[in-house]
Structure 1
Amino acid sequence: MELISKLKKVNKASRQLRLSTTEQRNQVLKIAAELLIAEQKSILKANAQDLKNLPSSTPAAFRDRLTLDITRLGHMAVSLLQVAELPDPLNVETEKRQLPNGLLLRKVRSPLGVVFMIFESRPNVAIEAFSIGFKAGNAMILRGGKESQHTTAALYRILKAALKQADLSEDTLLGITDPDRKIVNQLLKQKELIDVVVPRGGDKLIEFVTENSLIPIIKNDRGMCHIYIHEDARPEMATQILVNAKTQRPGVCNSMETLLIHEKIAATLLPKVYEAMSPFHVRWYAAPRAFKILKKFPMVNVATESSWKTEYLDFAINCKVVNSLEQAIDHIQEFGSRHSESIVTSNEVTARKFQQEVDAAAVYWNASTRFTDGFEFGLGGELGISTQKLHVRGPVGLAALTSERWLIDGTGQIR
């Protein structure tokens, strides 16, 4: 009953937030940015506790996702200020018409209401999710993973302090640190008090939410991202893109997991790509033809059927030699997660065919998949990368956290 009582307060705060001004919401974000810097010692102390609690066997990429430092806190503060500078998506008029009977119809953007965000190890998601959801006029419920509970608790305190200083209800944010999954399960049933749920994490989290939620979902599925190197690709460009997509930050959903390469350039280019990635000690899982080319190198293994479905989020990569563009597209269609896919080619006709046929939220030509990100796209951040097709697809930015509704002005018309 205590949880339901808190939810009712959040729901009430969401209605009050509809009356807030752009300036009020921006003020909260600016105050939060200042507090992030002012309270950095306490935040880093909490983060150190979370890192200390990790098992010694925790992969380096996972530890990196959890880690905060002064530089990352600075980036988080900057992100809050950037969102504050973005245009307000609320009350934007997207359509206007007058009926023959004189009724004036206006379609405008309005908040979704109460947004429940579930995320895993990256504590910076708490700040990013709040800033985007709140700027779009939504009350936010945030629940991070158990690994980040001390860090997120410190961040929730800062966000609530910013709300209080700006004279807005602290109930606009409900931050949950209790790792008990029963709480999440209970929240997923509250369709009368929560308007949308956004899970952001691994397969198990997405599956759990999909199976248990009575609330509409904006699904941020795993990033099983591919890059296909066509026969006419420029070798230097292809190598740079591949190294960036795999090694720049492997523990995020827009990093490349599978390299597909045309048979005509595989024998000459694959060893060069391997050498370029070798300083990062990347493990390779290669299909038979690729394995034959790379078997003389260390850390090269034979791929299994499960390899093509594995999101490593680490310094590991799948590799397959294909006969044609069509075979590459078929592989992506079978194993991709509809997140981000890329082709490297000198031929625009080939590139456009790939972009039209590949069914993904973001499809690139001659670029790294690492750009699928709300900030990189100029959206000021994101709640995640939606891999579904309804309501929003790709980075979930400000506009995606609103919906359009009709406002109708009359002078006494009846039907």
Structure 2
Amino acid sequence: MTDIIETAKRARKAGYDFALLSTSKKNEALHTIASMLREASDEIFEINKKDVENARAKGLNEAMVDRLTFTKSRFDEMVDGLDKVAALADPCGKTFDGRVLPNGLEVVKKSVPFGVVGVIYESRPNVTVDIAGLCLKSGNACLLRGGSEAFNTNSLLHSIITKALEKCGINPDGVSFVDSTDRELVGTMLSLDQYIDVLIPRGGEKLQRMCQRESSIPVIIGGFGISHIFVDESADLDRSVDIIFNAKTQKPSACNSLDTLLVHEKIADKFLPMVLNKLKEKEVVVLAHDDAFAKCGNYPFLEKGIAEDFDREFLSLKMNVRIVPDVYEAITHLRVHNASHSDSILTDSRRNAELFVKSAGSACVYVNASTRFSDGGQFGMGAEVAISTQKLHARGPMALQELTTYQYVCSGDYIYRH
């Protein structure tokens, strides 16, 4: 059985080495990892195919299977993300603030790595590469524990990454991997605050809450939440249809896909037939609530929604539809139903747009744009470790800067306190 404590100790030691890496060395390693992943793409796809087959045989839901599956575009996006991260500025050593005190002491606030970042994640094998790349560039070691359904793919990816690090003369323990599917090791990992500085769970709410409840390590929560779009009475209805279709159907299993559509009552009669006609192309199941049910007419994939559905993250081709009297009721709905991730208003009213933005408690709030943009790559960050839905210390897509903390560097001419 994997000795996770020894693995964490080695990661801790490697973290000291990673903190001293030059920017050029980090970038060399990132490009090398990307190159070696491209060279091994056939083998990676073959192994991933077996993981997908095993997942289906075990009866995993389609959202999990979809997240597990490598397509060419997803693979290319993952690998290209490493090159993009290499092109970004090094987040370490940045000066945020500085002053010279009357006694001659120079006080400078600088960004530094956390040390070791622990990540527990489900399904998505791209997370292995994304986190390894971001942690490397930000000077952090990482300890990764992926889901059992992606174990073979993750193991292969990790092997390629460590070989690339060795090729560049970098301590491979800086990207450590729990090479076991034993669930008891998760509990052990949550107790390793002596070696892991911050823990980031990526998965469903059950995983997130368990880590939050049981970890002795500071935890950054994110990646789940109900996403909403409110269509205001002033919205461009034709263009709104395209945004809603994209938010729901482009990648239904994504955490930023649309869960609940709120429609202003003054446009409901006109707009609902328009959007339903488009959603029908993908056979989206619509859970209509209250008077929205009658207005959805003969839509073939219509069901009557219940109150509990508003608190469900569907991760599939299913969504709520509710009619609201105004922007104030839309905002109230968001506050009641866990709107902490990605939420959007479609409107041509500047007043309502500003009101929505100021009132929404979301990590990412949009005006006239799809919620699907909540992504580190889409935000120009290269990739992301997670999308944080809490307010400390990071919020929204977490990339390089969010993987650093700071320290005060104080310099003097042999001075002491009087």
Do they superpose with TM above 0.5?
yes
Structure 2: which amino acid aligns with 1:407? V
Residue 121 of structure 1 corresponds to 123
Check the 8 A contact 1:188/1:214 in 2, yes or no: yes
In 2, distance between residues paired with 1:35 and 1:49?
21
Check the 8 A contact 2:232/2:345 in 1, yes or no: yes
Residue 379 of structure 1 corresponds to 381
Residue 241 of structure 2 corresponds to 239
Check the 8 A contact 1:40/1:70 in 2, yes or no: no
State the SS of the aligned residue for 1:288: coil
Residue 315 of structure 1 corresponds to 317
State the 1:17 CA deviation. Answer: 1.3
In 1, distance between residues paired with 2:91 and 2:281?
45
Q: Which moved more, 1:73-82 or 1:197-206?
A: 73-82
Which residue of 159, 179, 182 corresponds with 1:180?
182
Which residue of 129, 132, 139 corresponds with 1:130?
132
CA deviation string 1:103-136 (max 9, x = no partner): 1111111001100011111111111111112110
Residue 405 of structure 1 corresponds to 407
Residue 13 of structure 1 corresponds to 14
In the TM superposition, 1:95-244 aligns within 5 A as: 95-244=97-246
State the SS of the aligned residue for 1:97: strand
Residue 353 of structure 1 corresponds to 355
In the TM superposition, 1:40-55 aligns within 5 A as: 40-55=41-56
TM-score where L is the length of structure 2: 0.97
Residue 285 of structure 2 corresponds to 283
Q: Which moved more, 1:216-225 or 1:166-175?
A: 216-225
State the SS of the aligned residue for 2:13: helix
In 2, distance between residues paired with 1:93 and 1:24?
21
State the 1:299 CA deviation. Answer: 1.3
State the SS of the aligned residue for 1:27: helix
State the 1:392 CA deviation. Answer: 0.6
State the 1:54 CA deviation. Answer: 1.6
Which residue of 262, 266, 274 corresponds with 1:264?
266
In 2, distance between residues paired with 1:146 and 1:279?
34
CA deviation string 1:292-333 (max 9, x = no partner): 111422111111121101111000010100111111111110
In 1, distance between residues paired with 2:21 and 2:60?
44
In 2, distance between residues paired with 1:366 and 1:55?
38
CA deviation string 1:146-196 (max 9, x = no partner): 110010001000110111011011110111242222111101111111000
State the 1:336 CA deviation. Answer: 2.6
In 1, distance between residues paired with 2:335 and 2:284?
25
In 1, distance between residues paired with 2:121 and 2:280?
32
State the SS of the aligned residue for 2:47: helix
In 2, distance between residues paired with 1:2 and 1:79?
32
Aligned length: 415
State the 1:291 CA deviation. Answer: 0.4
Mark the CA change 1:337 to 1:142 in structure 2 (over 3 Å): closer, same or farther: farther
In the TM superposition, 1:318-337 aligns within 5 A as: 318-337=320-339
Residue 34, structure 1, aligned to residue 28, structure 2: no
In 2, distance between residues paired with 1:59 and 1:187?
27
Check the 8 A contact 1:221/1:337 in 2, yes or no: no
Residue 5 of structure 2 corresponds to 4
Residue 296 of structure 1 corresponds to 298
State the SS of the aligned residue for 1:211: helix
Check the 8 A contact 2:4/2:178 in 1, yes or no: no
In 1, distance between residues paired with 2:304 and 2:47?
42
In 1, distance between residues paired with 2:7 and 2:241?
52
In 2, distance between residues paired with 1:253 and 1:159?
27
Check the 8 A contact 2:339/2:361 in 1, yes or no: no
In 1, distance between residues paired with 2:283 and 2:61?
14
Check the 8 A contact 1:339/1:387 in 2, yes or no: yes
In 2, distance between residues paired with 1:309 and 1:69?
30
Check the 8 A contact 1:146/1:177 in 2, yes or no: no
Residue 66, structure 1, aligned to residue 68, structure 2: yes
State the SS of the aligned residue for 1:412: coil
State the SS of the aligned residue for 1:55: helix
In 1, distance between residues paired with 2:312 and 2:181?
26
State the 1:74 CA deviation. Answer: 2.2
Check the 8 A contact 1:337/1:387 in 2, yes or no: no
In 2, distance between residues paired with 1:59 and 1:237?
32
In 2, distance between residues paired with 1:61 and 1:194?
30
State the 1:221 CA deviation. Answer: 4.0
Q: Which moved more, 1:136-145 or 1:55-64?
A: 55-64
Check the 8 A contact 1:242/1:368 in 2, yes or no: yes
Check the 8 A contact 2:64/2:253 in 1, yes or no: yes
Check the 8 A contact 1:223/1:255 in 2, yes or no: no
Structure 1, gaps ≥5 residues long: none
